[in-house]
Amino acid sequence: MQQGRLAGKIIAVTGAASGIGRASALRCADEGARVALIDRNADGLRETAGLIGARGEESESYPVDLTDEEGVRQAVAKLVRDGGKLDGVFNVAGGSGRRFGDGPVDACTLAGWEATMSLNLTSMFVMCKYATPHLLETRGAIVNLGSVLGLVGGDEDFATHAYAAAKAGVVGLSRSMASYYAPRGLRVNVIAAGLIATPMSQRAQTNEHILARLPQLQPLTGAMGTAEDIAGTAAFLLSDDARFITGAVLTVDGGWTAR
């Protein structure tokens, strides 16, 4: 692993209490960043902070529900006061809307649609809204977590149409921001993830039918990706190694969208 390419940077990671967010916070800390951990799960944040501290690295925790605009505004203002600046944001927080009523469009409830959009797209917009002024000062970077389902249609095994629409919205939001803010030095990119083994994907991890499809879906490995696969990509995009990259949608999907 290349060490130190985020040295001296303040990086905020949302969804940092578990899964991809936790792995990414650890990777950014390993790369030299001081990490601002953001999630509504305060217990999970304490666990992530403990893991970072055990490595001799530094972080600060900001428990907040990212669908609460005022809470996000206050959290961003506090993390900038604490750290003196903000150099990068990795927006990971989100999740499946099945429990709210997401599904195929003819079966998806309006409440499921709205809850899924709020969780996966509106929350990201709000974080970007309040982080962007500070990132313009540092000519920083935003990385937004998308999904292959925002790029290609999902079949009957992945028929969550509100989630797919939200993740397509992540691409549209990110590319619009990338174009608009490029002259002011702010970079905005998307990671479109395939099936990754995290707490969010427990349904797929325990579904023998989906597991049997992995060699077709993700032929590079025939298996699910790991949270660390996404974390390493995010660390690169947040670093100065990616200084000439903006508006990109980088698929980290084991070949899902290459077919």
- Per-residue pLDDT of the chain in tens (259 residues, 90 and over written 9): 446 999 999 999 999 999 999 999 999 999 999 999 999 999 999 999 999 999 999 999 999 999 999 999 999 999 999 999 999 999 999 999 999 999 999 999 999 999 999 999 999 999 999 999 999 999 999 999 999 999 998 888 889 999 999 999 999 999 999 999 999 999 999 999 999 998 776 777 788 999 999 999 999 999 999 999 999 999 999 999 999 999 999 999 999 999 8
Alpha-carbon span 259 to 247, nearest angstrom: 23
Joined together, the tokens standing for residue 53 give: 């501290």
Cα-based distances in Å from 4 to 159, 239, 240: 41, 10, 11
Annotated catalytic residues are 163
Q: Which residues contact 225 (CB under 8 A, 6 or more apart)?
A: 193, 194, 195, 196, 197, 218, 252, 253, 254
Residues linked to residue 62 through DSSP beta bridges, in sequence order: 38
Compute the residue count for the chain: 259
Domains and CATH numbers, the chain: 10-253 (3.40.50.720)
